[in-house]
Structure 1
Amino acid sequence: MASSAIYHARSISLPSRPHPVAEQLDEQLSRLRSSQSTSTSSSSVSNALNGLKDLYSSVDEFLQLPLNQQNLSQTQSTTLVDHVLDGSLRLLDICSASRDALQLSRERLQDVQSALRRRCSGELSITSEAIEYLNARRSVKKAMKKCLKNLKLANEIKDEANVSVTLLKDVQAVTADTFQSLVSYISGSRKSGWSVVAKLITKNNNKEVATSSEFEAVDATLNSFICQKKSGITSSQIENLRSQMLKLETEIQDVDEALECLFRNLIKTRATLLNIFSY
């Protein structure tokens, strides 16, 4: 990144060179950019979130350097300061909303799992729990659609001569791109630009349901079960649903743990920025 050459640790006897923290940030940003893909698998999303966690740890080190604090605190543009702070707040809100969506999905998923266990004891219907789960998923998708709109706004810091602000802009842009994949994963949809495109391809009852995430697989299977209520559900279909839900529950746990760590880093970064800009 061209901007890294401007972050210098001055020395009387040695030529100026990029500060190690700035070099580390450049490397992490490049690595995150190169690893970004259209995949909405839980593993790729979790890996990207863990990469962001490490990135924000380096951002915190960068913001603790006196020269960078001075550079930011002397920013003359009130609009620019507002853009930086507003962007950090929007990213925090999206992170929080994503965790809430995962929690709601997990709770309704566990309700369906409980209904399946009761079914083995003689209670045959899981329809009401399936409907509650799908209603919750519709609420989740609405929340994620709102997150996508906020992602656009969080990524709207204009180009600036202030090199510290430029770095923060790059960090927020990479974060927004990663959150786009996160939102698409939670929605159970394929990532497509700034929109979530839901393409459930449900074939005949006895055939495979083509999906892009485990969320989508469970959504599609439960929809199919509701449609099949009168014709009955086979034991193999029940076992397939159990397997899908178990996998999804594990995925939700992994993604939520990564989000929890990142959330703490985002809070810390915002607190540091508020302190710097209040000087």
Structure 2
Amino acid sequence: MASYHTRSFSFPSNSHPVADHLNDQLCRLRSSQGASSSSMTNKLTGLKDLYKCVDEFLQLPQSQSQKGVDEVLDGFLRLIDICATSLDVLVQSKERLLDIQSVLQRRYNGGLNFTNEFSEYIKTRKIVKKVVKKCLKDIQEVAKINEANATESKLKDVQLVTVDALKSLLSYIGGSQKSNWSFSKLVHANKAQKETKSISAFDAIDSTVELSQLIKLESEIQVIEQDLEWLFRHLVKTRATLLNVVSN
């Protein structure tokens, strides 16, 4: 990664109303992310509110010099890459699910064979799980770097909260890493699997395929995809703004 040690920055601490607002948003997000009842869409919506505060925070005048700008900039760059990959695997999964949904709708009317579509879905899910596993390892590195650095920074706190949300998202998309697929299992899953409350929506589809589940999951993915696109754009914007602050 590039180094920016020749330039440094600092922003007002808790003495400014904007910083206070950012603190409140960080506390609210930490609380909601720790709650098992918080949905994936709620967590991503919380990030929207957080990054709106970050926009205001970056407009504050700089004060005395502060080290660690390179870690902050590199952290945002890693998050941008991970967010882009998350969006990519989400879209891949959605496309395969739409294929299956289309075939199921036609099958109910005409008895079509849909083995090929399920084979493609299984292939895609295996690829997605491998990518997700790597992303989870990469995102943990962002957390370790921020936690290991002693420099206090609101922006590092923002990154850590973003890391937690993206980890939850990747786990949601990847589902169980121990899935053992077969065509018959997908079509004829046992009742106990259907009634398991703790599994994710993707795990439910990986276990058994029902049209109603597919329609529900497609709706969830649509909202998450829009939120992820927003987050990606704002991560890019935040890093660009920060680079501009450092350069001036």
Normalized against structure 2, the TM-score is what? 0.83
1:233-272 paired onto structure 2 within 5 Å = 241-272=210-241
- The aligned counterpart of 2:34 is 37
| 1:268 Cα offset (Å) | 1.1
| 1:82 Cα offset (Å) | 2.1
Q: Which amino acid aligns with 1:107?
A: E
| 1:258 Cα offset (Å) | 1.4
Work out whether residues 38 and 181 of structure 1, in 8 Å CA contact, stay in contact via their aligned partners in 2: no
| 1:154 Cα offset (Å) | 1.5
Q: Which amino acid aligns with 1:178?
A: A
1:150-161 paired onto structure 2 within 5 Å = 150-155=138-143, 156-157=145-146, 158-161=148-151
Given the alignment, which residue of 86, 104, 115 partners 1:116? Answer: 104
Change (3 A) 1:242 1:51: same
Q: Which ranges in structure 1 are unaligned for 5 or more consecutive residues? A: 1-5, 9-16, 190-196, 223-240
Q: Deviations over 1:102-138 (max 9, x none)?
A: 1111111111112223323434311110110111111
Q: Secondary structure at the match of 1:125?
A: coil
User: How far apart in 1 are the matches of 2:139 and 2:189?
Assistant: 38
1:22 aligns with 2:9: no
Change (3 A) 1:264 1:206: closer
Work out whether residues 45 and 227 of structure 2, in 8 Å CA contact, stay in contact via their aligned partners in 1: yes
Q: What is the count of residue pairs matched by the alignment? A: 229
Q: Secondary structure at the match of 2:191?
A: coil
Please give the root-mean-square deviation of Cα atoms over the aligned residues, in Å. Answer: 2.6
Change (3 A) 1:131 1:25: same
Q: What's the % identity of the aligned pairs?
A: 52
| 1:47 Cα offset (Å) | 0.7
Q: Which amino acid aligns with 1:207?
A: K
1:168-179 paired onto structure 2 within 5 Å = 168-179=155-166
User: How far apart in 1 are the matches of 2:18 and 2:106?
Assistant: 56
| 1:271 Cα offset (Å) | 0.5
- The aligned counterpart of 2:55 is 60
